Amino acid sequence: MSILYEQMAESIENGMVSKVKELTQKALDEGCEPKEIISNGLLPGMNEVGILFKEGELFVPEVLVAAKAMSAGMELIKPLLKDGEVQSAGKCLFATVKGDLHDIGKKLVSMLMEGAGYEIIDLGVDIDPESIVEEVKKHKPDLVGMSAMLTTTMVAMKDTVEALKENGLYEKVKVMIGGAPVTGKYADEIGAYYSEDASAAVDLANQLIRAS
């Protein structure tokens, strides 16, 4: 069975969507437990993608295709999972802030973090502070990740942190920010944590979860 999982992981690395779906179904047909397929085939494949991306051997388009391949397998498995059967690394809520429509960076971080075992809630783009606050109340995430690709929209990150404080939520979550104009200095100023790229975001999330 390990060969099947190895093939699954390799297929994710190579972005072979239909092959991952086929191997996942084969594993299910052969009686493999859904959580074992995730732990031994899907997650290792996506984790390797994250490593290769960090080392500069894979690039954004390839990571996005790999994530699509992993999702194809997960779609078959999710309906078969019982609540709490697979241990989540943590729950993360993501949004591109108000006034900003850029999506790729946030999507990349979300996919790599999902590959690392995190439960992801992606609110999309152009999300105002009030909406983020409401979703935090609703989902109770461990982490809130915000992205901005424009200098003019960075202020919405500060506004969101302030809104979380006003609603008594800031102490209950860790706020991560990133994007082309964002810096570690700005993160410190507004009370957030900064990651320079998608791979660093996964490392940061792991650190924050361990420390909480």
- Whether residue 85 lies inside any domain: the answer is no
Distances (CA, A) of 166 to 119, 163, 169: 26, 5, 8
22 and 99 co-located in one domain: no
- CB neighbour list of residue 194: distance below 8 Å, 6 or more residues apart: 176, 177, 178, 182, 183, 184, 186, 187, 188
120 and 64 co-located in one domain: no
Final residue belonging to a domain, choices 37, 60, 80: 80
As a whole-number percent, the residues of the chain with pLDDT over 70 amount to 98
98 and 165 co-located in one domain: yes
34 and 108 co-located in one domain: no
Helices marked H in the chain — which ranges?
2-13, 17-29, 34-37, 43-54, 60-77, 104-115, 129-139, 155-166, 184-190, 198-211
Strands 91-96 and 119-122: parallel
**How many other C-beta atoms can be found within 10 angstroms of the C-beta atom of residue 168?**
9
- Expressed as residue numbers, the domain containing 10 is 2-80
- Structure confidence at residue 84 (pLDDT): 64
| Per-residue model confidence as pLDDT tens digits over 77-96 | 988 887 666 778 999 999 99
Domain containing residue 113: CATH number: 3.40.50.280
Domain containing residue 35: CATH number: 1.10.1240.10
| Per-residue model confidence as pLDDT tens digits over 161-208 | 999 999 999 999 999 999 999 999 999 999 999 999 888 999 999 999
| Per-residue model confidence as pLDDT tens digits over 120-136 | 999 999 999 999 999 99
The token pair that represents 180 in the structure block:
């082309």
Task: Give the model's confidence band at 115: pLDDT under 50 very low, under 70 low, under 90 confident, else very high.
Answer: confident
96 and 148 co-located in one domain: yes
Instruction: Find residue 96's DSSP bridge partners.
Output: 147
Instruction: Provide the domain count of the chain.
Output: 2
